[in-house]
């Protein structure tokens, strides 16, 4: 057996430097075990690179496991959708979508602009009366009679006081049914009191009863009190365009014409001022100021406008037919 010569040991391979640091890779080095935490860095890494890694890991999902490998797998930022899906898997409940509370419209929208005689200190009943009734066309006889009585009462009371006693007025005057009021006796008038005080002066009370009687006569002649009133304005509201309250008149030539005709028929306490107040509240004239939101909303025609047109057409047709029959006979 020959003598075995001892060979010199093989030289070690040179070290290879990587751009990320002075990490040495040796060909004979055994494979590394499974990498540890993603935030773990080698002691040779410079401080600047360590700070970059720490800052990038701040945005990661806090619920991610500590044993995930951040160097090989990118982790997306956590969102409400992902969290809700995880809650479904864990708890078995569907995610609840959080909806913000509804915004109060009253706190956002500016207050409505009304006629200048309606102020923030006005009686709420008076404000509601302005918004819902004053200037709105009326074609109901019972309602028109009520508004005529209120217009007469304005000589002794103001609108807020009348509106606060409106239910009492309706109770004492039989809900302003003209046929019932027309039957009031002198004794009945003396009982129309509130806490011992008369509701209105005696001349006004007598005038209301007399006006109820004359209203019944007007109904027989014109088929309704509404037709009688609206024919003075051609069954269309008079639309004024006043910008300031001082421009609104207390009476007009049209009110004087109506007043004279009503007094000629036997109505009492119906002067031009009372009649014009009645025209305003019954909607025969629209005196809402241009800056008031009701000025445009009151621009509507009355039902009687259409009823009168149909009635006139029917009467014309009947007259034509009757004349033809007479000429034929």
Residue list, annotated binding site for Zn(2+): 115, 130, 288, 292
Superfamily of domain 131-323: Hypothetical protein; domain 2 (1.10.340.30)
Q: What is the DSSP string of 211-251?
A: HHHHHHHHHHHHSSHHHHHHGGGTTS-EE---SSGGGS-S-
Per-residue model confidence (pLDDT) at position 296: 82
Distance from C-alpha of 300 to C-alpha of 283, rounded to nearest angstrom: 10
Residue numbering of the annotated binding site: 115, 130, 288, 292
Q: Where are the chain's structural domains?
A: 131-323
DSSP character string of 76-101: PPP-HHHHHHHHHHHH--PPPPP-PP
Say how far apart CA 212 and CA 224 lie, in whole Å: 13
Do β-strands 285-286 and 238-239 pair in parallel, antiparallel, or remain unpaired?
parallel
Residue 297, helix vs strand vs coil? helix
Residue 254 makes CB contacts below 8 A (sequence gap 6+) with: 232, 233, 238, 279, 285
Alpha-carbon distance of 179 to 181, in angstroms, equals 6
Instruction: Give me the pLDDT at residue 9, please.
Output: 57
Task: Give the pLDDT score at 52.
Answer: 43
Tens place of pLDDT per residue across the chain (329 aa): 444 445 555 555 554 444 444 444 444 444 444 444 444 444 454 444 444 444 444 443 444 444 444 444 444 444 445 444 554 445 555 555 665 555 555 455 677 889 999 999 999 999 999 999 999 999 999 999 999 999 999 999 999 999 999 999 999 999 999 999 999 998 898 888 877 788 899 999 999 999 999 999 999 999 999 999 999 999 999 999 899 989 999 999 999 999 999 999 999 999 999 999 999 999 999 999 999 999 887 755 444 443 444 344 444 444 443 444 444 34
DSSP 138-174: ---HHHHHHHHHHHHHTTTS-HHHHHHTHHHHHHHTG
Say what the pLDDT of residue 109 is: 62
Give residue 7's pLDDT: 54
How many Å separate Cα 273 from the centre of its chain? Answer: 35
How high is the pLDDT of residue 197?
Answer: 83
pTM summary value: 0.60
């Amino acid at each position: 057996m020959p003598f075995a010569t001892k060979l010199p040991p093989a030289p070690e391979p040179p070290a290879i430097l990587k751009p990320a640091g002075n990490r040495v890779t040796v060909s004979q080095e055994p494979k590394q075990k499974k990498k540890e935490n993603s935030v773990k860095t080698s002691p040779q890494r410079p401080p600047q690179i360590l700070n970059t890694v720490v800052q990038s890991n701040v945005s990661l999902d806090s619920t991610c496991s500590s044993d995930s490998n951040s160097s090989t797998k990118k982790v997306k930022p956590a969102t409400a959708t992902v969290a809700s899906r995880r809650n479904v898997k864990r708890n078995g409940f569907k995610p609840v979508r959080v909806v913000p509370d509804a915004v109060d419209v009253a706190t956002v929208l500016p207050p409505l602009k009304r006629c200048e005689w309606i102020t923030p200190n006005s009686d709420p009943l008076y404000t509601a009366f302005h918004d819902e009734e004053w200037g709105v066309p009326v074609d109901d006889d019972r309602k028109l009679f009520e508004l005529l009585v209120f217009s007469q009462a304005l000589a002794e009371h103001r609108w807020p006081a009348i509106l606060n006693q409106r239910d009492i007025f309706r109770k004492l005057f039989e809900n302003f049914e003209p046929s019932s009021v027309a039957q009031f006796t002198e004794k009945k008038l003396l009982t129309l009191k509130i806490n011992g005080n008369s509701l209105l002066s005696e001349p006004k009370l007598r005038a209301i009863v007399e006006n109820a009687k004359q209203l019944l006569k007007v109904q027989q002649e014109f088929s309704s009190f509404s037709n009688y009133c609206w024919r003075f304005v051609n069954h269309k509201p008079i639309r004024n365009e006043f910008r300031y309250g001082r421009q609104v008149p207390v009476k007009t030539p049209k009110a004087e014409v109506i007043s004279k005709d009503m007094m000629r028929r036997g109505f009492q306490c119906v002067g031009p001022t009372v009649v014009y107040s009645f025209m305003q509240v019954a909607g025969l004239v629209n005196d809402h100021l241009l800056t008031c939101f009701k000025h445009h909303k009151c621009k509507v025609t009355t039902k009687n406008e259409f009823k009168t047109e149909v009635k006139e057409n029917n009467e014309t047709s009947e007259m034509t037919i009757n004349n033809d029959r007479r000429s034929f006979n």
